[in-house]
Amino acid sequence: MKNITAQQAKDMIIFVIENNVVEQTNLWDHVAASAKEVCSPRGIMYEMFVEEEENPVFMEDVIEGKKWALKEWKVNGHAKIVELFDTEEEADTEWFSLHEANDFATDDQRNTSYWSTREEAEKELAEILSYDND
């Protein structure tokens, strides 16, 4: 999934097989389901997250104005800025790219397969079910 923006991922309808049922979702939610979650001072959150910052301190420099920060929770309960962006869309796109390449691509706890059409997913499900009955 090279060069896909966060908005494109949110808009892209896909079909997945969950508990032997074809479900409709979007690519953003499907990838996000593999993102690592942690206990933070704010409750359960993704380990990496995006939020707006006013005059953020990054690499020991104060960056004037509002920026969108890609942050990561650290074990001490503090969030560290990983990278700064001018827009929320840019930050979300980087968040998506990182999770797709790391968490999603290596997720061995669930089926991460997906299809572009319901028909393709239903055909795959039929094959799975017929294989299970053999």
User: DSSP string of 73-107?
Assistant: E-TTS-EEEEEEESSHHHHHHHHHHHHIIIIITT-
Decide if pLDDT at 72 tops 90. yes
pLDDT of residue 116: 97
Q: In DSSP terms, which residues pair with 40 in a beta bridge?
A: 43
For residues 47 and 82, give the distance between their C-alpha atoms in angstroms, rounded to a whole number. 12
Q: What confidence tens digit (pLDDT) does each residue in 117-126 have? A: 999 999 999 9
Structure tokens at 28: 């953003």
Q: Please tell me the pTM assigned to this model.
A: 0.90
For residues 70 and 61, give the distance between their C-alpha atoms in angstroms, rounded to a whole number. 16
Structure tokens at 70: 């890609």
